[in-house]
Amino acid sequence: MLNGLRVVLGVSGGIAAYKACALTSKLVQQGAEVKVIMTQSAQEFVTPLTFQAIARNPVYTDTFDEKDPSKIAHIDLADWADIFIIAPATANIIGKIANGIADDMLSTTILATEADVYIAPAMNVHMYAHPAVKRNMKTIEEWGYRFIEPGEGYLACGYVGKGRLEEPETIVDVIKKDQDKKQLLAGKRMLISAGPTQEKIDPVRFFTNHSSGKMGFALAEVAAKWGAKVTLVAGPVSLKTPANVKRIDVSTAEEMYQAIHTHFDQSDIVIKAAAVADYRPKVTYEDKMKKKDGDLTIEFERTKDILKELGQRKMHQFLVGFAAETNHPLSFGEKKLKSKQLDAIIINNIKTPGIGFQSDTNEVIYLHQSGETNHFSLATKQEIAKQILMQINKDIKVD
């Protein structure tokens, strides 16, 4: 049930607007309070009175129709929403959102809201496949908006293909599942490390690795969406801080060691996804090293083994490590799991195309200390993060 959930439903101008009536009804039946915004084109298909009768709330159609002089309607509505749904979402409204255009009640309100946004497209199959539409959708998705993909079938234009608005029952089901997940890690304090470290040689040179930090950032983003209080210790990467995540930037292995150990005791779940340098130059230079004839030899010393020390120190924490391997990944992962006293380890073979450093996808084996393994097939790092966190949640409950 969606009892008490405050939903703003934006209806744009397509024949599928009639399905938005059924969607409104199902949301109300699930206990949600629904307020509807209609574009001018949407009103050519369905009247505002229809939605008003179903939702038992006024319908918003005009940015300048200020019913309450003490409030700015589109700002008040944007702030009021727990979630914001656009169904059907035409190519036009998707383009407006992607390009920051606010020229009517719906586009103005969507730009002002901080609620979770769901977009359910509906359009001709060729429009849906157009590069401009795909680009706009990709842009919006990168902002964290959730797309509910259209179904395939007979379209009003006579074509058969992808572009039909997803059924109201499915849209409601997606929202219900997401609302359940928002409580999955509620109250849990999570500490996640991500990215590489840089070990200085001189003012212009350092040793590092290829880690992009994308996997750790995906874990932090999903964990925060699912209710966890997340602290992210990040090496030098050019990634945006996920919403509702406390970020601590570090550069060296020693700085990462200090930051993680500072926040370890008050954490419930610790995921060390960072690729921390195992060695650093024994001597660093304050001035730039000059080129000389012959070879150059640099002596290295070991950095502190952060994960091993956490394993020795842990009390109530559920400790998860990562093992990026190139040969015999499972056997090396098992060895690391035991030697570092971990609760679980995430293993991947970085030589496999599409799952190495810098990639947007991953494929991993989740190995629990009990010996139970779970294989998460090739998917986006966002999706892999969801599967990892769901498994961690299950293991914590069992333990």
DSSP letter assigned to residue 309:
H
Q: What amino acid is encoded at 12 in this protein?
A: S
What SS3 class is residue 357?
coil
The DSSP-derived string for 46-66 is S-HHHHHHHHSS-EE--TT--
C-alpha 231/C-alpha 245 separation (Å) is 6
Are the C-beta atoms of residues 19 and 88 closer than 8 Å to each other? yes
In sequence order, the β-bridge partners of residue 336 are none
C-alpha 22/C-alpha 156 separation (Å) is 18
Residue 188, CA distances (Å) to 51, 270, 389, 391, 393 in order = 40, 11, 12, 15, 10
Which among 22, 101, 125, 157 is annotated as catalytic? 157
C-alpha 1/C-alpha 140 separation (Å) is 28
Tokens, residue 28: 């109300």
Residues 6 or more apart whose Cβ sits within 8 Å of residue 74: 60, 63, 105, 108, 109, 112
DSSP alpha helix (H) spans, the chain: 17-29, 48-55, 73-80, 91-98, 105-112, 125-129, 131-142, 168-181, 214-225, 253-264, 306-313, 329-339, 381-398
Among candidate residues 334, 201, 356, the one with its CA nearest the CA of residue 275: 356
21 is catalytic: no
The DSSP-derived string for 191-234 is EEEESB--EEEETTEEE-----SHHHHHHHHHHHHTT-EEEEEE
Question: Which residues participate in catalysis according to the annotation?
Answer: 157
